[in-house]
Each structure stands twice: as C-alpha cells, then as structure tokens.
Structure 1
C-alpha cells in the first residue's frame, strides 16, 4: 500500500506540473490543441537583413516537434493563424505521413521582415475537421509555376499554383528522400518539358526569378538547368552560369558533386543576379530577353532537382536567402514552442510521452515488468524477514528459560498462537535438527560412553547444514533485485540509444536539424533511461535494507549454532556418568 501510494503521488506531481496555457484568445473552440511557431529573422535565428514581404515558409513536422497521435491521419485538421491568432493563413501539405510521423507543409506568411521574431500558430486535433489546405492560395500572384515533384512515379509534374502549368511528361525517376520530400531524377538525355502558356509569358526587360534545388551527380561541360528562348541557366563543369541573349554571367566556384545546392537567378530589368545557397555569386547589368515557347528543365543534367519556382518578378536578395536557408538543412528560421491545450496546457511529461518512439516503449515495458517484480520481491521478502525476526525473538525467549533441552513439542505452557509463530523461526529449525541429532546419538550410546569430539563435530555438521538451508531461504529471490540494479540502467540506455537513432533518422528524412526539432525527440528517448534508473534506484535501496536484515538473522543463527552445540554437549554430560570427557578439549577426570 505504501509503494502504491508513493507511485500515485509521483504520477500526480508530474500531472500538475503542466504549464499554464499561453495568454491570449483561442482561434476556434473546435480545435483543442495549438502550437506556437516562431519565425526568427534576428541574429539569433536566420539573421536576414531587409524586408522580405510575403513568403512561402516551409514547416517540417516530425515526432520531435509534433504530436501526430492528436491529429488526423491525413492532416486535414491542421490550420495556421497569423500573429494576431485570428487571421487564417493559406497553406498546403506536400507530404503527410502519420505512420512515419513526417510532414512537409508550406505556409504563406503575409509579411516577413528581417531582424524580427514573428509568431504564427498551428492548430490541430479537431477530429471532424474538413480538409483546410488551399494550394493555389498559398502563392502570390507573381508565381508563374511551382513544382514540388510530389506527384507519384510515372505522372507528369503538377504545377502547385493556380496556373496549372504541368509538365508534358513524367520525369525519368523520382527520389522520395530529396532535399524536401520527393524530388525528380534527370538522366541527362531526357529533359522535362513544360508547354508554353499565357501565364508563363515573360516580356523583354521585365522582372524574372528562377530558383531550384539541384544535386548534380556528374559535372559535364554544360548541363542546362533551365532553358527557354534566349535564356539559359546552366552548370558549366559544375560552375553555375547564365546566358541571356549576348550577355553571360558566371559564378566563381563549382557546385559540389553529389550535394544539394540552392540555385537562383533574379532580374529586375536592369541587373541580373546569380545566387548559390542564398548568397549572391555574381551580378551583371543586363535586361533579360523576352521568354516564350516551351521550357526545358534538365537538358544534359544528370542528377536530381527539387522545388523549382518561376516568378514574373525579381525577388529580393532577402527573399532568396530566406528560401535557401529555410528549405535547406539546418533551418534556423522556424522554431517550435510547447503544445498548448484549450483551457489548460500540455504537460512537458505528456509531450515527452507522445514523442516516445515505439522501440523505447518496448524497452520501457520490459523495465516496468522488472520494476513490478522488484517491488514484489521487496514486499514479500520484507514481510518474510520481519516475521522471521519476530519468530526468532519469541523462540529465544523460550529457549533461555529451558534448564534441560528437550524437543520443542514437549515444552509445556505455550499456547497455539505462540507455537505457530515460533514454528516460523529459523532458529527453531536449527534447534529441531540439534535435538534430533541428540536423540539419535543417545540411542546409539554403547557402554554409557560420552560424546566424543568427532560426534560433536558430526552434530555440528548437521546443524550447519540446516543453517546453510535457512540462509538460502533468506537469500531467495534477492538475485532478482541485483539483476534490476545492474541490468535496469543498461536496458534503459539501450532504449535511449534506439530512440535517439530514430529521432536523428526522422530529422534527417524531414531535413530539419535545428535544436528545437531535435530536443523533444531526445527528451522522449531519455525517458527509457529514466525508466531504467527508476527500476535500479528503488531496487538498490531495497536490496541494501533487506540484505542488512538477512545478515542480522544469519549472524544470529551462527551464534545460536555455537550456543546450541555447547548446551547439547552439556546436557548429554549431565545425563551420563562422568567416566569419559565430553570432548577432547575437556580435562581428564580424576580416578
């Protein structure tokens, strides 16, 4: 009962440790949960200079930062609100895998500026919610085409904007683990063609932006990334270059073969700028020629491509930097706050439990079984030892009153309750063996000879054997506590290692490696180690306490054996003529 009360108090204390809900209203009462997402463009975050404007922000969800168990399996219940927590934000889901707990979501933020922190809110948990994403509404009107490459293998690449400028054929292959979810594979000899359309018309000298994530597997003399009319964006021996009419622009360094790089071209009608991973790699005073006709992506390019965007305006350097850093590894723009519940808060412990992977739960289940066994051993052994010590005390009270040692069942004046208690005394078991040996030796006496030293040692050996047996009874099941003490932390560590491996695997798959994404998953994985210590620590205290009692009873039995043998020898000496000494240690009797 004491152990159960202690565990209940511990669970209650963890439950009441939940943080209070953040101040402020609640967007819709039908959504029970929300999470604050901070967009940090200050020096402590992405460190973006200047105004960005309307931005398409990538939000990566995984088990380390989101409780998928509280959301619908298809993410239909997801909603985003602006900093005022009233205005819904357009968004769309590129990938939502509840089983593997990975989601890729694009959120349209109306105004993003450098050097500030802006909070948006993610609502979820409404089990009756219809699909809330707005794919075309996520993009501003200046986007002519956006290709996520999220279509199934064998299907043409769809345009995520309302312009519907899909490719004429499917890419040669896809990669489910590209820089952002699924990407397209290009073999070099089959470009991806996009038919001409009015929404893709780019007049001469107007603004234009092209951006894409590219991963070259080969670095030939020329591999075209984007080709249309008089504009070509290519890799020349791996070096990004632009050919616009008669003008050429080239970066200073080649892209790394086998690595993802963000490549962008922005023109405002006067200056053409080339960007690599969000950083300007070259600029030239020029105006782009008119662009018409079909678009060819990846002609002569061997590698992978993802997140291709075509805009009819020249995007600012700050906007291109945000795209490159937010979408690439090590995103410092997006940080996740704690989960909040309507009318209360999510307990940190609850968040940890929700993020604990299955492998760690298996280990924790094993540890809980070990803890139950350890508690049972401590309770049962403690009760047994208390009874043994009480019974020994009652036996010794009677033993000290005996003038002559006789079998215990012949002792008078003991009521049934006391006799039943004394029957459980380890000392009484030693006494019974000693008396049996005495009765046996008395029957074997020849010519009234006393007990020899050898006979006394034989009697001692019998009592010692019983003492060993009683010691084994005292130590029974104690080995389970030693297993819990030594094995619990190692089993818990195994669960933590497995959990950390899964967290890093999921983070790698999602492409989100900031500390706010990793921390919840790591904390959840550490729950297995906590469980291991939770098994070992009480087992250690219980073992030390019980072992002290076992040692006390064992010492009491050892002393009693010496006392019993001595009194048995004295009793036999008084019952027989003193012609012979009781042992070789006694002096020779006078004739």
Structure 2
C-alpha cells in the first residue's frame, strides 16, 4: 500500500478571495443600468425616440425640442399612478438627469394622457432613450411648462382652454386676446374651431416683434372643412409690410409684402379636406422655407419685413387688402413675384398646436414635430415594458436610509463586504475540508483496525502495493479520501520511520528509545495536521473582532458628518437629523452582519477541529502501543546486553 505516500491538497492563497471580492464589488458598482433614478418610484419604463432608418428616418439636425408623449391603457398603467398624474417624472437616458415636462391632458378614468417632455439633445439617425417614472403616491406635482421650452420659443397654444382665450404655456406669456370655440377630437387632444369670420387675435407684445430679415419659425396643425381660394391661416400687417400664411384651394403658401412689393411662394401639392396636416415655415435672412407635414413644400427668396403690430389666425388683417391692391402693379413688373391667386378669405376648419419661435429651426426639428405630433407617431416613439422596483431596499424606510448613506459610509460598507466575502469563503472551505477529513479518517481507521493485528503485516502489505486499497477492498473514491486523512498522514510518517530503521536488515526489534523517537515524529506530524486544520481560521477571528469596530467607526464618522451638516445649514429638526443618523447606523449593522455569522461558524468549526484533533491523539497512542507490541525487544537479549 502507498500508505506512506501523501501530499497536501493545493489550496487557494488568501489573495484569491480578496481579488474575487474586489472584482465582485467592481462589477456591482459599475452597473448603473440596474440603478434607479429614485427608489421612491416603484415603476419605470423606457421610451425610445427613434430618428433612425427603422423609425422616423430623420437625417437632418434636430437639437433640443419638446416631444409629445401619448399615454394610453396599452402602454401605461394608470391605476398605478396618482389620479392626477402628479407622480410622473421623466429622466434622460443616463438615468440621472431629470427632464422638464408638463401635462396637456391627463384622464385616468378614460386612460388617456398627453405629456410634453423637453428633451435637451435629440440626435438624428439614432435611438434616443428617456425614462418615465411613476408609482409614487406621495410625490408632489412637478410640472414645468415654461421649462419644457427653450427661451427662443415665443408662443405655444395647446388650445386646451374651454371658453377662455388660448393660454401661452411658454415663459413669454403671450396669451390670446379673445376666445374662439373649442374643437373636440383634434390632432392633440382639444383644438380650436375657426368659422372664417372670427379671427383669433394674438397679442402685440414686444417679444413677438419681427425684425427686418430676422429669423422666425411658425407652425400650426390644420384641418380645413373644404378647399377655399386664398384661405388665410395667419396674417400680420403693419403699413405697407405684411406676412400671410394660407391655403389656396388646399395648396399651402406663404406671402410677404415689404414696402408695397408682394411675393408669394409657388408650388406644392394640395392637401385633402377633412384631414389633419401641419403647416410650417422658417425664415432666415432672405430665405423662407415652407413645410407641409414636415417635408419641404416650397421656398421663397424673400426676407421678413419689420412688423410690430397685432397678428391673427383665421382671417386677413384689415390693412392687408389695400396693401395687396397697391402692390399689384409692382408684383406684375417683378418676375420673381407672384400675385395672389384669389381674394383673401377667412379659414374655416379646425386648428391645433400653434408654435412661434424667434429662430429658424433646422429641418430635422420641423420633421420630428410633424411626425411626433401627428398620426404617424408610432414610427418615432416606442415604449418598453414596465420595470418594477418594489423590493425592501427600493422604497419605504430602507430606501430612505440607503439614499442617505454618505460616501464615507459606503467606503466602510465596502470594506465590510470584502471582509464578509472572505469570511464566507473560509466557512465554506473549512466545512468542506473537515467533511473530507472526517470521511477519510473513518475509512482509514476502520480498515487499519481490521486489516491485521500485527503492525508488521501492515508494513509488509504496504511494501507490496502502490495504493492504500487495503488488499483491494477500497475503491478509487475511497482511496482518494484516505489520502487526505490526517490519520493516514500520521501512519505514513510512523511507518516511514520504522522502515528507515529496518532498511539495513538484521534484528527487527525496536528499543524503548526508538519507540519514543517514533512518537516524537508522530507528535510533530500531529502539530502539522493541527495547523492544516486551523488554516484561515484567523480570518474568522478578525471578522468577529474587527467587523463591529469597523462598523462603529463608520457610524461615528456618519454621525459627525450629519451634525456638521446640520450646524452648517442651521436647520435643526427631526426630518433633518433622523435620515443621517439612520444612515450612519447602517455601517454598524453591516459590521454586525459580518461578525455574527463568523462567530457562529467559528464556534462550530472549533468544535469539529477539536474532535478531529482528539481523534488524532487517540490514534497516536494506539499506533505507538501496537508498534511496541510488534517490535518490543525480548527479555533475554536485554539481559545479555546488560551483562
């Protein structure tokens, strides 16, 4: 048998668990995708604004703009949100930056909502992601209509005001001067209805003043009742200057009168009556571009004249007709000018979403507005499934506590996490090792006692075999278990000593001094096996004693920072103190969480190690006794040696 052969099991060095812990913590900290903007919100969904080929197909620059988000029962759980939608929050794709928004309509009973979200930088030809958070019944309303639009946006009418003048939702407060009838079922919620007789008057505020050759963007959704010649959508005049946007038998046009000279855009296809279409134009320098449904329809090589007066929707301004008549000869003489096709008339139909800006928006901005606000919005905006965050640490008391933990607290908790990882590694390693040791000792001891009563027989048997198979009685798995048994290691060390003494042949007897020498070898092997049994146990003692103290350090530092912050702010109240103190105590809880399992495991492992150690002591005594019985010197040689 190769009971004399044994080898130590290769084990992981202490640096390995430390490295694994560091890798685990690095992976944990480097996963912001799973982190929530605010854990008090229990639901979120990703909204993708796809301007690429698979979506709206916009290749021109877009920039910052408000995007219309339509919510309905198919893409939003109204029952999980506040009844008025006050808990709606929109966050940028980084899941960190809150976005401004305001609600045009929110009806939880019918399951319909219209929300405008200011997206700061929309990229063309790409998928732009934002997050919608909801599901916090305690959240206050956070709508900000003025912040939704940039300062260049001078006027926005949603026409969701019933029987009152249209309210401007931008910061410029350019509210309409009169009210017009509302129109239900418009392209975006409620719209306005024009009868061709009554105009909607815009204010003559300084912010709406148009400078000569200045920049301007104008857009309006329209649904005409029937094609009309020269139907005026928007008109503004001042003396011999004027600006008109209209539909001539369904063909959109923009007309500029400057110093008595009138020019009108030519070209474009007629739009159908009874359907919604967006009419828009941009002006910059000596160039005006007309758009229908986001696509360029016509251009006009003319600049805007200076205008400071009142503008109106639905009819031509009162001074427009004389100016146009006076300008007719000049228009005939100018090859680039085009005379009006017919007399100016009021527009009859529905309108919605008027927007005026003092800059020329890029083509991508116009197209995204037409697609995102119109019937083809599904090409642009896609909703993901809801993600829920309703665990213990996502809301409630635990959420408040964890959100209040300071950086120093997280450092201490991180160190404790590494310590916990190492201690659990030691627990698993030692329990597994002791299980193998116990199994191997049991097999070895059983066959050691049953194989032969003569120790010489065991040694002779060992010299004839290569495995500790005990005459072929053990299988491969059992032989492997015996190889790792401390009792086998002790037997191998004693057998090696006996063989060394009998290597030269001769009288196979051992003196008492030789037996004591063999016992000394077994005692040294006993010490080595005890050291192997107690390997890494010191890490548990460090966790037991060091974990609570390290946690206490984090708590003390956290309390100090909390009181220092309160002193600096001067705000002394329970709400200011309690979260900081509670968060500081998290470090102590983490320290106890490391120490308590380590304490239980240490006591359990200590008892098992003591049992194995006692078993080895008994085996040493038994082995030495059997050696003395087998190789004791007879009385006669002893007497002769004495004489």
TM score, norm. by length of structure 1:
0.54
Moved more, 184-193 or 269-278: 269-278
Query: Distance between the aligned counterparts of 1:149 and 1:67, measured in 2?
Result: 27
Is 2:287 aligned against 1:271? Answer: yes
SS in 1 for 2:370: helix
Q: Can you list the C-alpha shifts for 1:423-445, whole angstroms capped at 9, x where unaligned?
A: xxxxxxxxxxxxxxxxxxxxxxx
Query: Distance between the aligned counterparts of 1:206 and 1:39, measured in 2?
Result: 32
- Alignment RMSD, CA only? 1.5
Query: Distance between the aligned counterparts of 2:269 and 2:35, measured in 1?
Result: 51
Query: Distance between the aligned counterparts of 2:275 and 2:349, measured in 1?
Result: 10
Aligned match for 1:256, one of 272, 294, 315: 272
Query: Distance between the aligned counterparts of 1:162 and 1:89, measured in 2?
Result: 17
SS in 2 for 1:214: strand
Query: Distance between the aligned counterparts of 2:236 and 2:34, measured in 1?
Result: 51
Unaligned runs of 5+ residues in structure 1 are 1-20, 346-591
Q: Can you list the C-alpha shifts for 1:84-135, whole angstroms capped at 9, x where unaligned?
A: 1111100110000000000000100000111111110000011011111101
Q: CA deviation at 1:344?
A: 6.6
Aligned match for 2:117, one of 94, 107, 113: 107
Aligned to 1:333: 380
Is 2:50 aligned against 1:49? Answer: no
Q: Can you list the C-alpha shifts for 1:287-308, whole angstroms capped at 9, x where unaligned?
A: 1112221111011010000000
Q: Can you list the C-alpha shifts for 1:322-359, whole angstroms capped at 9, x where unaligned?
A: 000111112111100010111579xxxxxxxxxxxxxx
Q: CA deviation at 1:221?
A: 1.4
Aligned to 1:342: 389
Conserved in 2, the CA contact under 8 Å of 1:251 and 1:274? Answer: no
Q: CA deviation at 1:228?
A: 0.8
Aligned to 2:562: none
Aligned to 1:76: 86
Alignment of 1:298-337 (within 5 A): 298-299=314-315, 300-331=346-377, 332-337=379-384
Q: CA deviation at 1:255?
A: 1.6
Query: Distance between the aligned counterparts of 1:283 and 1:215, measured in 2?
Result: 23
Query: Distance between the aligned counterparts of 1:283 and 1:90, measured in 2?
Result: 34
Q: Can you list the C-alpha shifts for 1:123-166, whole angstroms capped at 9, x where unaligned?
A: 001101111110111001111100000112x1111011111111
Distance 1:289 1:253, change over 3 A: same
Is 2:259 aligned against 1:243? Answer: no
Alignment of 1:436-447 (within 5 A): none
Aligned to 1:159: 168
Conserved in 1, the CA contact under 8 Å of 2:210 and 2:304? Answer: no
Aligned match for 1:187, one of 175, 182, 195: 195
Alignment of 1:18-33 (within 5 A): 23-33=33-43
Query: How many pairs does the alignment contain?
Result: 323
Query: Distance between the aligned counterparts of 1:41 and 1:291, measured in 2?
Result: 36
SS in 1 for 2:137: coil
Query: Distance between the aligned counterparts of 1:175 and 1:40, measured in 2?
Result: 31
Rg larger in structure: 2
Is 2:337 aligned against 1:290? Answer: no
Q: Can you list the C-alpha shifts for 1:35-83, whole angstroms capped at 9, x where unaligned?
A: 1101111100111012200011110000000000000111000000001
Query: Distance between the aligned counterparts of 2:227 and 2:201, measured in 1?
Result: 22
Conserved in 1, the CA contact under 8 Å of 2:151 and 2:171? Answer: no
Unaligned runs of 5+ residues in structure 2 are 1-30, 316-345, 393-643
TM score, norm. by length of structure 2:
0.49
Aligned to 1:555: none
